[in-house]
Chain A
Amino acid sequence: MTVETVESLKATFEMHQAMNVEVFYWWCTAIMFMIHAGFLAYEIGASRVKNALTSGMKNILTLSVIIPTFYFFGWWIYNAFPNGLIPIDASAALPWSLSMGPDVQDMGTGIFFAAFALFGATTGSILSGAVIERIRLSAFLILAAILGSAVWILAGAWGWHPDGWLLTELGYHDVGASGVVHAVAGFFALGVLMNLGARVGKFKDGVAMYIPPHSLPMALIGLMMIIVGFFGFLGGCIIFNGGETGWTTIYGNPTNLSAFGFNTLMGFAGGVVGAYLTSREPFWTMSGGLAGIITVAAGLDLYYPGLTFVIAASGGALMPIVGRMIEKMGVDDAVGAVAVHGFCGVYGVIMVGVFASAYPNVGDLPDITLSGQLIGAIVMALTGFIPGWGISYVLKKLNALRVPPHVEALGLDLVEIPAKPYPESLPAQAIVENTLEPGQEKQLV
């Protein structure tokens, strides 16, 4: 074989390898859209009929504001802030850079941008469910853009970046984004909920009332679709390297999809079992699948699958209890987002410290430690909570956060959305309460 032939084969191999990288993240991004299809069904189902389409519209627009704002400034934040709050030069990530568009010789930037934009959109959808049925669409979209394109990605620069200070100083390990995505979004939602207030009728004399979802089956199907989307999300958390390196985590440690395969499935199953044991209720039980995966995501590359099942079961079991505690504190989290994402995200980061301390990081980076994980968990919770509370407080003071009481009573669909979710359906509530309008009885025939 001649030198020319070897060189030609090498070039061909390298091109195919680069194409494989693109193909992998392309499909991870596509599968991540299933998360948003799931959130769409989940939140529509969790709403009452009078608010169903507004919840859906909110979810559709979440994607459509986070994607462009992530292009405008989110990708730059990720590249500019690994050291803290002082930016480093990341001009290649600015939206007017030649790197931020079609380039024959750059087969990485666009595909990584796409995956990260969808991670950001996931944080917006996490917030979206918590605030249904009373937040203004305009206020929500402002909050979603800030969360999805600034807040979480700042946390990502710190704890989910090869040079992030949480890694370089503390050995922080959060391979599947328990902290940087879920804890940040969950605690951001908690901050917003504290200013937004509960839905009318949620609390009577300080006791939480049950506001039933109008379609629990739709919500359950939505949750299962989110689980499907998680395979794209977690796949996107792995780095597909060229050369001889193969798969690594975002921290550069060796791993592979097999490790993720074991522990994603065991995490899902453990979470469902745990949530069922402490709730017996389908909404919480299905949410347990999410809770389980989120709880083990931070250490997805390290855990023994049997241990994964145990940790996920504990997260799933605690999640409904935490959800009820939050409710008793007077916070109306319509879908349990704070418990599922906020609590399980923080819990998952800490569990890595409990069960995976002393695992080495590459090079001179510090080992994983319990203290590093504890500090990381606190940083994630505060990074989400402070801007969530602060920005929603400003919006509240501007009377721009919540819909007026008469709109909430009428239903957001009637006021905000020029469409009806079920135009041919009978007015079920009116039938039950015997308050049908004249002529409506004929529809019963």
Chain B
Amino acid sequence: MFSSPITSWENVAAYFTFSDSPMGIAISLAAAVGIYLFLNASIMKHEKESFDKHQ
């Protein structure tokens, strides 16, 4: 994905993917938060369906 923020290891500090790209960080973080929220929603949906099924 050509996401490396560095071209050599000389004088490197933060070197993680997208460390030079606020947009990349924002998208990654938003996706991570989204997965976390989806987990909660998914469990709620599963519970509702399962509780109804065993009524």
Contacts and interface: CB of A to CB of B under 8 A. Distances in A.
Contacts of A136: 47
Chain A interface: which size bin? Answer: 20 to 34
B55 A101 contact: no
Q: Which of B16, B22, B50, B55 has the most CB of A within 10 A?
A: B50
B51 A103 contact: no
Nearest to A417: B50
A105 to B, nearest CB: 5
Interface string A74-108: 00000000000000000000011011011111100
Contact of A137 (B16, B29, B32, B43): B43
B19 A141 contact: no
A68 B32 contact: yes
B13 A104 contact: yes
A216 interface: no
Contact of A68 (B19, B36, B51): B36
Interface string B27-55: 00100110010011001101100110111
A106 to B, nearest CB: 8
A137 B51 CA distance: 12
A157 B22 CA distance: 28
Given A72-B33, A406-B54, A407-B51, A142 B13 contact: no
Interface string B1-38: 00000000100111110010010011001001100100
Interface string A133-156: 000111001100000000000000
B54 to A, nearest CB: 5
A137 B47 contact: yes
Interface in A170-194: none
A106 B39 CA distance: 32
Nearest to B48: A138
A436 interface: no
A102 B29 contact: no
Contacts of A102: 14-16
Contacts of A407: 51, 54
Contacts of B15: 102-104
Contact of B13 (A69, A96, A105): A105
A414 interface: yes
Contact of A138 (B32, B33, B40, B54): B40
A21 interface: no
Nearest to A98: B14
Contacts of B14: 98-99, 101-103, 106
B24 to A, nearest CB: 10
A96 B29 contact: yes
A256 to B, nearest CB: 33
A125 B33 CA distance: 22
Contact of B51 (A65, A72, A96, A404): A404
B21 to A, nearest CB: 11
B44 A138 contact: yes
Contacts of A106: 13-14
A400 B39 CA distance: 16
Nearest to B6: A104
Interface of A: 65, 68-69, 72, 95-96, 98-99, 101-106, 136-138, 141-142, 400, 403-404, 406-407, 410, 414-416
9 closest A-B pairs by CB: A101-B16, A98-B14, A103-B14, A138-B43, A102-B16, A138-B44, A105-B13, A104-B12, A415-B54
